[in-house]
Structure 1
Amino acid sequence: MALVSMRQLLDHAAEHDYGVPAFNVNNLEQIRAIMEGAEQTDSPVIVQASAGARKYAGPNFLRHLILAAVEEFPDIPVVMHQDHGASPGDCQKSIQLGFSSVMMDGSLLEDQKTPASYEYNLEVTRRTVEMAHACGVTVEGELGCLGSLETGEAGEEDGVGAAGVLTMDQMLTDPEQAIDFIAQTNCDALAIAIGTSHGAYKFSRPPTGDILSIDLIKKIHQALPNTHLVMHGSSSVPQDWLKVINENGGEIPETYGVPVEEIQQGIKHGVRKVNIDTDLRLASTGATRRFLSENKSEFDPRKYLAA
């Protein structure tokens, strides 16, 4: 099966009431593991390249790895998505490379550190949509800044994350503003801010409604029932992997992610795309540390990277 557009996939997800995992990838091992998991569960998948991944591996290398996965797993619908484009120019480059979907993150200025005005976000997202739709490419926008309702801090992942302390208004998407944003930009999917943040250190305790606003998803879905919602910062931070890492030389402090049950609640109320990155990093790090601890004379990267 060739690459599919994200709009096509999310429309199907909405019709049949499910959510699609969107995995950030950096290398061969991650892409193969994701595709094998998708094959085992008979699931479509969104494979996405963050700004950091594009810098680390190079967009051309990533593109060819993803296309190889499409060729090797022909029965799996795959979206090749650019995560967190800092400008319409970034998105244009990805479209020219053959990405079937792009995200224009206008919630931050081009430095991906400074919170942007609503007017700026509207303008850069609208420009990206006009360009992308002319090429048959899906666009995801973002309204509100990712940030912890506990600390007001955004967290940082691959250089993306608001600097300083954010206000509650910045960290929680306004439903009325979301209506206007969709009307003015015509973007295909909308990432909303509900109290999640990038990275492993999302919550200092298992999250409840005061620090993770699943109710806000319900309000936005009621206001925009035909809009595909996106949850960023949605890794669950499995405690089992934290234990494996720390038992094998790691020193990750106590931390918690978004419970799977809360993600499922989001899916029931319009979330169609769920972004996952940190969980892949934890699993990869844990498996590698455990393998090297148990095989102290081993030095073949093909073996420990396959662990």
Structure 2
Amino acid sequence: MPLVTTTEMFKKAYDGGYAVGAFNVNNMEIVQGITEACQEQHAPVVLQVSKGARAYANHTYLVKMVEAAVIECPDIPIALHLDHGPDFETCKACIDGGFSSVMIDCSSRPFDENVEETKKVVEYAHAHGVVVEAELGTLAGVEDDVKVSAEDSSYTHPEEVEEFVTRTGCDSLAIAIGTSHGAYKFTPEQCTRNADGVLVPPPLRFDVLEEVSKRLPGFPIVLHGSSSVPREFVDKINKFGGKMPDAIGIPEEELRHAAQLSVCKINIDSDIRLAITASIREHFAEHPDHFDPRQYLKPARQAVKDMVTHKLINVLGCNGKA
């Protein structure tokens, strides 16, 4: 099965009440861990590449690794997606360079500028058989070159979505309902403590999601910044020499609820980084004599696979849906 666009997988997800996982990739072990999990669970998947990943690993290497995954995992649909494309030129390079999907992120610009740039990308992408994700609303947090303060973030305005989708022709829409990029999504002051003393982030704005869904019936919605920052990874990182105080993510039960509504794609990046880092820190602490990268990257790859398997089954609900 060659690389696919997200059109069919999103339609099935919308109708089936689940979401497709969109996982960011930066190296071979991440690609392998994600796709092996999806192959075993018979789940569709979106492999995402950010501007930072292209700068780190090189566009060609990333494309060829994903193409290898397509060969190794022939039973599942795999889309290759540009995450947070900052401009037309970056999107064009990815469209010309083998991607099946791109995101143009002009959400920080005025509405009309966002429309104009998104429409330009859509026209070029559609002429080349590629689909386009756009964004309305601005998520707080840090992810590669995307840096937005809490003061500059804003929820999506539902009254704008119909005009935006009609004018741009985009194929899916990322909205802001309270998720956030990075491992430090919220400050302790933004959270409350439950009976066990654990910090609980503010709830997602499902009212915004539901209103957007009413205005765009059947249209696929995307959530960025949706890592859950599992305590097991954070605690292990801190136990073995790390320093990640107050790392807080999105509760998995809220993401599962979003997947049962109109959210067809949920982006996960930080949880991959945390799984790898926790595994490697533990390995070095327990095997200080090891120096062969294969010795510590093999369990790190397994940690990614285990984490993704959990997400497919318990959060996204897309296992068995390939």
How high is the TM-score relative to the length of structure 1?
0.91
* 1:50 aligns to 2:50 (yes or no): yes
Corresponding residue number in structure 2 for 1:60: 60
Q: Do the aligned residues in 1 keep the contact of 2:14 with 2:261 (CA within 8 Å)?
A: no
User: Which stretches of structure 1, 4 residues or longer, exceed 2 Å deviation after superposition?
Assistant: 161-165
* 1:259 aligns to 2:251 (yes or no): yes
Deviations 1:262-290 (A, max 9, x none): 01111122000000000000000000000
* 1:135 aligns to 2:121 (yes or no): no
Corresponding residue number in structure 1 for 2:75: 75
* 1:206 aligns to 2:206 (yes or no): no
1:40 CA displacement: 2.0
Q: Match for 2:135: what amino acid?
A: E
Corresponding residue number in structure 1 for 2:192: none
Q: Which has the higher contact order (CA 8 A, sep 6+)?
A: 2
* 1:146 aligns to 2:129 (yes or no): no
Q: Do the aligned residues in 2 keep the contact of 1:214 with 1:265 (CA within 8 Å)?
A: no
The CA RMSD over aligned residues, in Å, is 1.2
Identity of aligned residues (%): 44
Q: Secondary structure at the match of 2:119?
A: helix
Q: Match for 1:156: what amino acid?
A: V
* 1:277 aligns to 2:269 (yes or no): yes
Deviations 1:33-62 (A, max 9, x none): 001110221101000101110110011110
1:34-45 residue pairs with structure 2 within 5 A? 34-45=34-45
Match of 1:187 among 159, 167, 170: 170
Q: Secondary structure at the match of 2:174?
A: strand
1:164 CA displacement: 7.6
Q: Secondary structure at the match of 1:21?
A: strand
Q: Match for 1:287: what amino acid?
A: S
Instruction: Tell me the matched-pair count.
Output: 288
Corresponding residue number in structure 2 for 1:125: 118
CA distance in 2, matches of 1:195, 1:11: 24
Corresponding residue number in structure 2 for 1:90: 90
CA distance in 1, matches of 2:87, 2:213: 27
Q: Secondary structure at the match of 1:156?
A: strand
Q: Do the aligned residues in 2 keep the contact of 1:91 with 1:102 (CA within 8 Å)?
A: yes
Q: Match for 2:162: what amino acid?
A: I
1:294 CA displacement: 0.6
Q: Match for 1:55: what amino acid?
A: A
**What residue ranges of structure 2 are gaps of 5+ in the alignment?**
189-198, 300-322
**What residue ranges of structure 1 are gaps of 5+ in the alignment?**
108-114, 148-154
1:162 CA displacement: 2.9
Q: Match for 2:132: what amino acid?
A: V
Corresponding residue number in structure 2 for 1:24: 24
